[in-house]
Amino acid sequence: MIVAYLRLGIWDLIKSFTSCSDSDIDAHIAMQIVNESALCSNRIRKSNYLANQGFELVNGLGFLASDQQVHYLLDKQTVYQAAQMQKALAGIRANAGHYYGNTIAIDPHRIITTSQRVMPKKKKQPEEPSRKMLQTFFANDADTGQPIGFGIGSPGVSTTKATIDLLNLTKIVSKDALILADKEHFTDKLIETISQQMDFDLLIPAIANQRIKDIEQNSQYKHLWAGYALAETKFRFERGGSDYRMLTQREGEVEKDFAYKSFITLKDKSAENLLTVKYAQRWTIEDFFNFDGAMGFDRASTFNLNIRYAKMSLALLAQAATYELRRQLPKPYDRWNATHLADAVLGKIDGDIRVKDDTIIVTCYDAPKELNLHENYSDLPARLMSEGINPNIPWLYNFKLDFRFK
């Protein structure tokens, strides 16, 4: 992971976020939080054996920061600082090839929280019991599945406002991508803002109210194949002043079996491609939550916005570095989820550490040969210099790092 941090400039992002220098302890505590996220562990600070394994040394510390220290650090960082770090990270990831930028999926993702606040309880699934939920809004590149950034809903931030802020963040990756939205985004204000103030295209499912149902049943359909037909018409919100392109798909061969689903889109693209190919890509954002959720996107112990934005933004740093690591791994290891990768690679390879001159040498024993770690990490300082990267690690007091495999 240290190599990925160097390649992505993670330390500089942490220093900017914490307003710290290389020697300030707050920056090193933030690095510990990032590494905790990479290990998919929420309460790692209570596990003293990790200190015996050298976990604290990876962060440039001689100890594990306590829960109280972490709380104070995160609480004094502002939402604005976290948002700026997300923007900087998105730009770095775009330059590193983590995004294609053609299609972006947005999703109002709910996270179960143990906050002590008085909050309305909601259900993630109809069959599940109601629980306190933290409302988040994520944007992911739909081709690579990688997160671009997120926002958090609160009593003062509606879905529309949070989504507009999120789309302004995605402009760093692409200004004219196709945005694949969810039904919860189906508001006049949001669609009007995207149509009039942004260059994005949009594909958003319509809420199946009675007005939409009447339009669906009275539209003229073009039969494409058995059990599938498409229709196109104009749609205007009841209090709106603009017409939008409405696409409706009809499934079923006989009228009593017809099932309809309608969408609003803004540009003149193929209706068949949008509905049968493009919209299916929206589910890559659900793959992200299933794949990397354990890094800190599936739990929330508090609703303190400073802490939540900071914690999850630091988790984005860990997720970006993990993705960079996966790109070095062969199949099928590059498709391991975050928990599996943490257990099998980041935390389970035995080894020892020694220092020779200005270099920290990590000797790994019995690392699986099929992971190609020897090929990618031997003679590491020279490899990094060939990429134009300074091999000195600033949070490890400018020591270099090298690996041996036995």
- Number of Cβ within 10 Å of residue 160's Cβ equals 17
From residue 284, give the alpha-carbon distance in Å to each of 29, 70, 292: 32, 32, 12
Cβ atoms of 43 and 311 within 8 Å: the answer is: no
Cβ atoms of 10 and 317 within 8 Å: the answer is: yes
C-alpha atoms less than 13 angstroms from C-alpha of 115 in its C-beta half-sphere: 21
Pairing of strands 103-112, 131-141: antiparallel
- Number of Cβ within 10 Å of residue 405's Cβ equals 18
Which pair of tokens denotes residue 384? 């990094």
From residue 350, give the alpha-carbon distance in Å to each of 288, 313, 329: 29, 30, 19
Q: How far apart are CA 23 and CA 6, in angstroms?
A: 17
Closest C-alpha among 306, 398, 390, 323 to residue 358: 398
Where would I find the H helices in 327-367?
338-341
In the block, which residue shows the tokens 């939920």? 133
109: which residues sit within 8 A by CB, 6+ positions away? 136, 137, 138, 285, 289, 297
Domain ranges for the chain, please list them. Answer: 351-406
Task: Please give the chain's pLDDT, 406 residues, in tens.
Answer: 889 999 999 999 999 999 999 999 999 999 999 999 998 887 645 555 555 567 788 888 888 888 889 999 999 999 999 999 999 999 999 999 999 999 999 998 888 776 777 666 766 667 777 777 788 899 999 999 999 999 988 777 788 999 999 999 999 999 999 999 999 899 999 999 999 999 999 999 999 899 999 999 999 999 999 999 999 999 999 888 899 999 999 999 888 899 999 999 999 999 999 999 999 999 899 899 989 999 988 877 777 889 989 999 999 999 999 999 888 888 887 788 899 888 878 877 788 888 999 999 989 887 888 888 888 888 999 999 999 999 999 999 999 999 998 8
pTM of the model: 0.90
Give the distance from CA 46 to its chain's centroid.
Answer: 27
Cβ atoms of 108 and 130 within 8 Å: the answer is: no
User: Could you give the 3-state DSSP secondary structure of residue 315?
Assistant: helix
The alpha carbon dihedral of 183, 187, 190, 192 has a sign of: positive
